[in-house]
Structure 1
Amino acid sequence: MAAWLGAPLLVIALLARRLGPLPAWALGLAAAAAIGFGLATWHAGRQPPMPELPRGATILTGRIAQVELLPEGRRLTIAAPSLDGGAPLARQVRVRLKADDPARPAPGDGIRLRALVRPPSAPAYPGAWDFQQAAFFSGLAGSGFALGRAEVTPGAAGPAFAALRAGIEARVTAAIPGPAGAVAAALLTGGQSAIPPADLGAMRESGLAHLLSVSGLHIAIVMGLGFWLLRAGLALVPAVALRLPVKPIAALGALALGGAYLALTGGQVPMLRSFAMAALVTLALLAGRRALSLRGWALAATLVLAVNPAAVLGASFQMSFAAVLALIAGWEWLRPRLPRPELGGWRRRLWLAGFGLVATSLLAGAATTPFGLHHFGRLQLYGVAANALAVPLTSLLVMPAGMAAAALMPFGLERWALLPMGWGVEGILAIARCVAAWPGASLAVPPIPAWGLGLASFGMLWLCLWQGPWRGFGLPLILLGLLSGLWERPPDILVSGDGRLIAFRADEGMFLQRQSGASAFTREAWQRLFGVAEARALPREGAAGGMACTAGACTLRAVPEGPAVALLRGAAPAAHCAGAALVISAEPVRGHCAAQVIDRFTVWRHGPHAVWLAPDGVRVVSDRQWRGDRLWVPPMPVPRGSASAEPPAAME
């Protein structure tokens, strides 16, 4: 319905220009919203449904679409997989091979292995990142790990760029061993899976993680160097330089080089944004128009969202476009206000380069801060210092050497360029480790809520898009969005989707009951939500804050006279059902209970739960309530047999 309204509204908006800019502007926004919702609905409807995967081990066969290196072993993306000899699925499956598997599969090969495959997991808590939604729109059915060695059948060549990506990764990691090789491969191919977790964490905590996500900086280096080399090469040939337009030809060649780099790195959202803007810049240069503008930024955002509307919910899209918006608007405001230093020659250029580097880091860092706080709950304090050292090293040594290595690979001479590239990457890793070790380099803070992020985003758009003095009204909106976490109260209790993790928020900390096999990822997500570095174990006996524990149960109250919540740890449910407003148990609670119950059956049916305690009662929200009825939300499971039947083995 929304899509059909978009076109008429757009026509009416164009006709309403005679009545004044405001009516046309309002109708244009309504038309854009209608077209956007229509595109999103169309994209969701064209996705194949999520299949039901086997609950136990399965024989998996299919064709390899992609091979990713891991710190230990390999991870395969299998297209048209068949499970236990069944019909091929319309979605892909991702499987991690055993670390000691000698197989060296390549894209296009056939594969057969015994594996355990699971569907995408539910969010870590109601309102957290939705893995099932991300998998639904990416064409993934599930992921898992091999239980035995893989049988690989050589096949026809796979997707050209997938095979090229795998070959480049293999050559780079062979020439540059260790973490530096994994980072170098990530810069050339976009795959970060081989980077050891410790080094990946150091890059994130130092504010250098954006260097690993190939985006504007990388494509600017590739296209800028390609443009300079092509133009210089053509200018050296008098017959060409005097007869042909050298600059437009070099610009088109650089754009083609950027397109190849986009395809090689897998078409990630930051690269789509960067390439779309690069294409607009190239067209502007050919037409003699201004290269970078807010209109170009808006057109690039429109193109990316038309191709992949679901990208708007991801941190990659939000942070990438926010950074570019701040850079364009910020430099427009700064350029006429810059003082002119009384320096000449190389000293003035050095001053301008240093100021530009610091200002760019500050603008991009400030613009991405609200999104980093919302998605990751982390605040990097020394990102400007780390970027001031690492970005020049990336621009002047690492990426040019990487481009030279890629050009020399067909001749087998890439080692001469990969060695200096490795030295540069080692320098970047040393900077990241050093800055990450500084006190308070990365602070864990409670994430700002979605409405706070929306408020900060609107304030940023207001500040950057308007030109008049009223643009300053965007600053208080941004500030309110950043401080919105102060008004958003996190849950008092969290229960994971398998019941193995139960957390209480008390005494300015997080107390955790953890069973064997509990998800470390879920625990870390809860810690980010509560803004704590570590979780404390629930005491066997004693009191802490509003919580009192015995050997068989713990009781939590928000206020002394408020409702009680009982966590059963072996005690009989009947002893607490009458005196508590809510009973929580990692095991099924059988029989009648007067209190509301969250047990193993509850989380099996409705997913993770969040509980807020108030003096007048408790508020319980399940993941199923939070997300509602969506195409990617699995239907409510029904136990086989009687109502008291145990949940399936997948819960074990």
Structure 2
Amino acid sequence: MRDAPLVPLGDGAASGPVADDVAMQRPWQRAASLSSTPRRIADFAERFLADAGFDRAPWLAVVFAGGILTWFALASPWQWMGAMGCGVLIALGALAAWRGDDDRGHLRSALVASSLVFAAGIAVIWLRSETVGAEPINRPVVERVQGYVLEREDQPSRDRIRLTLAVRDAETGTARKIRVNVPSDTPGLAGEDGDGLTEGAVVRARVRLMPPASPMLPGAYDFARAAWFKGLAATGSVVGGIDIIEAAPPATGIAAIQRGLSAHVRERVSGSAGTIAAAFASGDRGAIAEADEDAMRDAGLTHLLSISGLHVSAVIAAAYLLALKLLALVPPIALRIRLPVAAAAVGALAGIGYTLLTGAEVPTVRSCAAAMLVLIALAMGRDALSLRMVATAAAFVMLLWPESVVGPSFQMSFSAVLAIVALHSSSPAKAFLAPREEPWVKQMGRRVTMLFVTGLVIEIALMPIVLFHFHRAGLYGAFANVIAIPLVTFVSMPLIALALFLDTVDAGAPAWWLVQHSLDALLGLAHMTASQPGAVKLMPQMDRLTIGLFVIGALWLALWNGSARLWGLVPAAVASVMLIGTPIPDILVGREGRHVGITIEGPRGERQLLSLRDSRSSYSRDNLLELASVTSDPIALPDWPGAECSDQFCVITIARGGRDWSLLMARNRDLVEERALAAACERSDIVIADRFLPRSCKPRWLKADRRLLVQTGGLAIDLKNERIATVAEGQGEHGWWRGEQP
């Protein structure tokens, strides 16, 4: 582009080139310069896309997931329609602007494909929500129901059985699906009568039902959303006995085999190791003790308990290799068929069978689908570990279960796979693992080192997702997984398979003995790792911008090639700074106003939590502790020296943001004289109650009573910045949100 001529100033002097100094251009020159800016941006984007040498399929899967996430983030149908319309308009605009323009081929294709795929993502999740979503009941009820058992889940660790029933609504006559917990000591459940309480039985019971619960606090688990996509209208428990009107037919399905296999394994392996072995063999996690699950979680080993990629891959790989070696020993077969194709077929059958046997949960189906693609690639002689394979598996899952995109299981499993593929496809990793003439000890050392590096990269990739969903993460997971993954993959699971095979001739006892000791070692590792100082990192609720920057940075690092991928470190670094600066809420208020937590500084500078009620509910207590980033048990507010409590109210003053805040909190719903209450409210900055307070109660800053909380849901209050986060902010007009509109 030629330099523009010099333009004389008022005194006759000449300025610099106008192309470089827009402020000194004449209006017609400024317009021409600005009009060239989009062209320069388009030229840069075209050159970047042409030179990047990237695979388009993974990015299209990312854009499709972005459309799904956009539907969850936007509030109302008109916004969903607007986002879809924008996608279509961008695609049409790109086609119209650059039709037949070969100089914009890459950019045109990227905009058209991405915009249409984005709109398709919104359409798919919207259709899924309208198709499977079940309207929740309006209020808690106690009623007698008669229903058909759709699913039974044994949970011996919690002394209960969980039933999913299809019942008929007494008011409307329409069918609905509910889930109820049946205590193990319920009359009619034990003995021979209880044996008929399986899938296909018809039962009658008096039940206490609740609408699926929305998040207790901002950032807490949204069970109402999960129940919506499962079609559950209510959850609850059985009150009194349960009558089996019609026993289930003889158990012959997968569920019966799964329960029988789980019981068989627990008989052969005792204690906690037996519950873990049952989970590996049948997918039944109901018998695992809560203490063991907590230890596995804090040690970064929870993924070993959920039947997913590691387990399915181990089963398929074992079947593939075993079939390949055995078929090679039969010359008539080896000379007439392609052994990789036959072995892939055997591996596929083994993987599908294991997926069905372990309950065919979404993570297992997802892993099985990805494994099938790997087998197809092996049979065709293609690269089995590629980003295109990961993208295809992700697209398969998102088309069938688009709601899984917002769940931790989908995000963690695909993040881990992307991290593995990106690491092992990088030039340094290939050079490090390249075959060379060296002693076997060095070769083994390289593989062990790479296993540790892989675990470390996975932990780094998963850390933001784990903190976003669970607010706590095990920091030593990379070290524990170096031992745990080989132990499970190459010792425990093969031994379980061998023991089950030997049990057909009643000779599995030695193998079960080895299983017992291998899983005892796994649990010992988990408890030892979780008990180390600083093993767990707690974090308050991460905002959407922070997690979004983490995801963008990680995807950029994983999906681009060459030095361009290093730009992904920029958003990741910005997100890390934002995460460190995330404020911890000063006050947490549960969705009904009953549970209130106040963060304070202990005598040694440690963070502690004051709790208004000494709740027996571990769910409420854990939510308050996690979102307050407190590891110690909560302190009852009446026991705190700085609090003044009566039978009806507690008053406490805390210093935040350079001033004192006076809090008045109701302890029960007993009636209080209105004038005294109004006077107490007038002296308080914040009033919190699980009842409707009279209008005469006017605190100086916030009145969080029942009238407000039914609109907002739970609250997280930052007094220093005077900000209030609410559950309702992220719900919009989605079907599962039951908050009242103001």
* 1:297-322 Cα distance to aligned partner (Å, 9 max, x none): 11111111111111111111111111
Among 118, 135, 153, which residue is 1:67 paired with?
A: 153
In 1, the alpha carbon distance for the partners of 2:91 and 2:163 equals 42
- 2:570 partner SS: helix
SS of the equivalent of 1:573 reads helix
Please give the root-mean-square deviation of Cα atoms over the aligned residues, in Å.
Answer: 3.2
Show the 5 A alignment for 1:51-130: 51-52=136-137, 55-56=141-142, 58-82=144-168, 87=173, 89-99=175-185, 101-102=189-190, 103-104=194-195, 105-130=197-222
The more displaced of 402-411 and 318-327 is: 402-411
Matched, 1:162 2:262: no
Closer, same or farther in 2 for the Cα pair 1:8/1:623, shift >3 Å?
closer
Which of 271, 282, 289 aligns to 2:375? It is 282
Opposite residue 388 of structure 2, the aligned amino acid is: R
TM-score, scaled to structure 1: 0.88
Q: Which residues in structure 2 correspond to 1:25-64 (within 5 Å)?
A: 25-52=110-137, 55-56=141-142, 58-64=144-150
Contact 1:214 1:265 (8 Å CA) reproduced = yes
Tell me: CA distance 1:84–1:13, structure 2 relative to 1, closer, same or farther (3 Å): same
- The amino acid of 1:474's aligned partner reads G
* Shift in alpha-carbon separation, 1:256–1:12, aligned structure 2, 3 A: farther
Question: 1:629, CA displacement in angstroms?
Answer: 2.0
Task: Output the CA distance in 2 between the equivalents of 1:406 and 1:242.
Answer: 33
Q: Distance in 1 between matches of 2:615 and 2:641?
A: 26
> Are positions 1:577 and 2:663 aligned together?
no
- Relative distance call for 1:398 and 1:212 in structure 2 (3 A) is same
- 1:630 equivalenced with 2:734 (yes/no): yes
Instruction: Give the deviation of 1:136 after TM superposition.
Output: 0.6
Name the amino acid aligned to 2:181.
V
User: 1:125 aligns to what SS in structure 2?
Assistant: coil
Cα drift, residue 335 of structure 1 = 2.8
Matched, 1:483 2:483: no
Matched residue of 1:630: which SS? Answer: coil
CA offsets, 1:490-540, max 9 Å, x none?
Answer: 433222123221122344735434336563312212221221113333256
Q: Which amino acid in 2 is paired with 1:527?
A: L
Query: Taking structure 1 as reference, are residues 438 and 622 closer, same or farther at Cα in structure 2, changes over 3 Å only?
Result: closer
Asked if the contact 2:690–2:706 (Cα under 8 Å) also holds between the matched residues in 1, the reply is yes
Cα distance in 1 between the residues matched to 2:440 and 2:382: 29
Residue 221 of structure 1: aligned partner: 314
Distance 2:217 2:100 in 1: 46
- 1:381–1:16 Cα change, 3 Å: farther
Alignment of 1:323-402 (within 5 A): 323-333=416-426, 334-338=428-432, 344=438, 346-402=440-496
1:63–1:108 Cα contact (<8 Å) kept: yes
Following superposition, the deviation at residue 76 of structure 1 comes to 2.8
> Which shows bigger deviation, 502-511 or 626-635?
502-511
Residues 1:313 and 2:406 are matched in the alignment: yes
The equivalent position to 1:202 in structure 2, one of 288, 295, 315, is 295
Cα offset, 1:198, TM superposition = 0.6
1:430–1:127 distance in 2 versus 1, CA, 3 Å = closer
Residues 301 and 481, structure 2, Cα contact 8 Å, conserved in 1: yes
| Alignment partners' CA distance in 2, 1:345 and 1:17 | 58
- What's the CA shift for 1:236? 2.5
Which position in structure 2 is the counterpart of 1:647?
none
Tell me: CA distance 1:434–1:493, structure 2 relative to 1, closer, same or farther (3 Å). closer
Note closer, same or farther for the CA distance 1:568–1:197 as it changes in structure 2 (3 Å cut). closer
**Residues in 2 aligned to 1:111 and 1:80: alpha-carbon distance in whole angstroms:** 10
TM-superposed deviation, 1:623: 2.7
- 2:322 paired with 1:237: no
2:660 and 2:558 map into 1 onto residues whose CA distance is 47
Measured at CA, do residues 219 and 588 of structure 1 come closer, stay the same or move farther in structure 2, by a change above 3 Å?
Answer: same
SS in 1 for 2:664: strand
Query: Which of 105, 108, 122 is equivalent to 1:23?
Result: 108
Q: Say which SS state the counterpart of residue 124 (structure 1) adopts.
A: coil
Alignment-mate amino acid for residue 135 of structure 2: M
**2:484 match: secondary structure:** helix
Residue of structure 1 in register with 2:277 after alignment: 184
- Written as runs of structure 1 = structure 2, the 5 A alignment for 1:463-612 is 463-507=557-601, 509-515=607-613, 517=615, 519-534=617-632, 535-538=634-637, 543=642, 549=644, 551=646, 553-556=651-654, 558-559=656-657, 561=659, 564-568=662-666, 572-595=676-699, 596-604=702-710, 606-612=712-718
Q: State the distance in 2 between where 1:77 and 1:269 align.
A: 19
User: Structure 1, residues 518-573: CA drift from partner, whole Å, max 9, x if none?
Assistant: 63312212221221113333256754xxxx64655234453455775433567932
Q: 1:458 to 1:385 in 2, by over 3 A?
A: same
> Is 1:452 matched with 2:556?
no
What is the CA-CA distance between 1:206 and the residue it aligns to? 1.4
After superposition, give the CA deviation of every residue in 1:18-46 in whole Å (9 maximum; x if it has no partner). Answer: 43212321322212211101101000010
The alpha-carbon distance between structure 1 residues 348 and 273, as it changes in their structure 2 partners (threshold 3 A), is farther
Q: State how far apart, in whole Å, the 2-side matches of 1:85 and 1:410 are.
A: 53
Gaps of 5+ in 1: 639-652
Q: Percent identity?
A: 30
SS of the residue aligned with 1:90?
A: strand
Amino acid at match of 1:271: T
The Cα of 1:145 is off from its aligned counterpart by: 2.8
Would you say the 8 A contact 1:222–1:403 is kept in 2?
A: no
Q: Flag the 1:64–1:25 CA change in 2: closer, same or farther, 3 A.
A: closer
Q: Distance in 2 between matches of 1:199 and 1:37?
A: 40
Label 1:115 to 1:170 Cα distance change in 2 as closer, same or farther (>3 A).
Answer: farther
Which residue type is aligned with residue 609 of structure 1? L
| Distance verdict in 2 for CA 1:474–1:215, change over 3 Å | same
Q: Deviations over 1:305-345 (max 9, x none)?
A: 11111111111111111111011011111333317798646
**Higher Rg of the two aligned structures:** 2
Please, which moves more after superposition, 518-527 or 451-460? Answer: 518-527
Distance between the aligned counterparts of 1:550 and 1:144, measured in 2?
A: 34
CA–CA separation in structure 2 for the residues paired with 1:300 and 1:228: 23
Per-residue CA distance 1:405-436 (angstroms, 9 max, x = gap):
45566777665654433332222112112222
Residues 67 and 580 from structure 1, CA distance in 2 versus in 1: closer, same or farther, beyond 3 angstroms? closer
- With over 3 angstroms needed to count, the CA separation of the structure-2 counterparts of 1:145 and 1:419, relative to structure 1, is farther
Q: Deviations over 1:360-408 (max 9, x none)?
A: 2112111111111211222322222222222222122211122334556
Q: Secondary structure at the match of 2:337?
A: coil
User: In the alignment, what sits opposite 1:648?
Assistant: none
Deviates more, 1:346-355 or 1:456-465: 346-355
Q: Distance in 2 between matches of 1:198 and 1:465?
A: 39
- Measured after TM superposition, the shift of residue 264 of structure 1 is 2.2
CA distance in 1, matches of 2:178, 2:252: 15
Contact persistence 1:50–1:632 (CA under 8 A): yes
Distance 1:227 1:207 in 2: 29
Distance 2:656 2:229 in 1: 40
Q: Relative to 1, partners in 2 of residues 1:568 and 1:525: Cα closer, same or farther, differing over 3 Å?
A: closer
Structure 1 contact 554–568 (Cα < 8 Å) conserved: no
Equivalent pair of 1:447/1:531 in contact (CA under 8 Å): no
- Counterpart for residue 40 of structure 2: none
- AA in 2 matched with 1:607: G
Q: Which residue of 1 aligns with 2:43?
A: none
Which SS does the other structure have where 1:597 is aligned? strand
Classify the secondary structure of the residue corresponding to 1:145: strand
**Aligned 8 A contact 2:593 2:704 in 1:** no
**Shift in alpha-carbon separation, 1:574–1:412, aligned structure 2, 3 A:** same
Compared CA separation, residues 7 and 502, structure 1 to 2 (3 A)? closer
What number of residue pairs does the alignment pair up? 632
Note the C-alpha offset of 1:64: 4.3
TM-score by length of 2: 0.78
Contact 2:712 2:727 in 1 (8 A): yes
